[in-house]
Amino acid sequence: MNYKGKAHKVGEHIDTDAIIPARFLVTTDSKKLGENCMSGLEPDWAKRVNPGDIMVAGRNFGCGSSREHAPIAILGAGMPVVIGHSFARIFYRNSFNMGLLLMEIGDDVDKINDGDELEIDANTGLIRNLTNGEEITCPPLPASMSKILAKGGLVEYVKERIA
């Protein structure tokens, strides 16, 4: 799985209510949720995002309540990947279940600036910053997680396995 897009950097300890505020939880439509992604921090934040862009987060991204809507909103905004220093555990699992790739890179997140052009090879764990030439590596995804993502999330993966 390869990805290429512009980095949209967000801060540390961003909770699920900031990712998608409760007032927007009346739907599971990814497009509608995506239009309001990150609006808990900045109204109209998602209008800066183009399909394929990449969110870059600080420490403990996705903390707070267990809210499947948060990864759906990120995907709905057009971002298939979040690179982060670290992720809240429930958000981490919810993201893969919904089909959102997360890559945890620790302090190397500081090598990425807002607006940098990134290229990602999830199979090898290689992140190339095309803007500044930095290369960041993290462990590649286990095959089991890659299969879930390839199907668009856990529900579709299980449906195929049962069939």
Contact assessment for residue 133 and residue 117, using Cβ atoms and an 8 Å cutoff: no
pLDDT of residue 13: 97
pLDDT of residue 22: 94
Q: What is the DSSP string of 55-120?
A: EEE-TTBTBSS--THHHHHHHHTT--EEEES-B-HHHHHHHHHHT-EEEE-GGGGGG--TT-EEEE
Measured in whole angstroms, how far is the alpha carbon of residue 67 from the centre of its chain?
Answer: 14
Which residues are within 8 A (CB) of 84 and not within 5 positions of it... i.e. 6 or more apart?
Answer: 56, 57, 58, 59, 61, 102, 103, 104, 105, 109
Q: Can you give the C-alpha Rg of the chain in angstroms?
A: 15
pLDDT of residue 65: 86
Parallel, antiparallel, or unpaired: how do β-strands 117-121 and 126-129 relate?
antiparallel
Q: What is the mean pLDDT of residues 14-27?
A: 95
pLDDT tens for each residue of 44-87? 999 999 999 999 999 999 999 888 999 999 999 999 999 999 99
The Cα–Cα gap between 103 and 147 comes to 16
pLDDT tens for each residue of 77-133? 999 999 999 999 999 999 999 999 999 999 999 999 999 999 999 999 999 999 999
**Domain architecture of the chain: domains with CATH:** 2-162 (3.20.19.10)
pLDDT of residue 122: 92
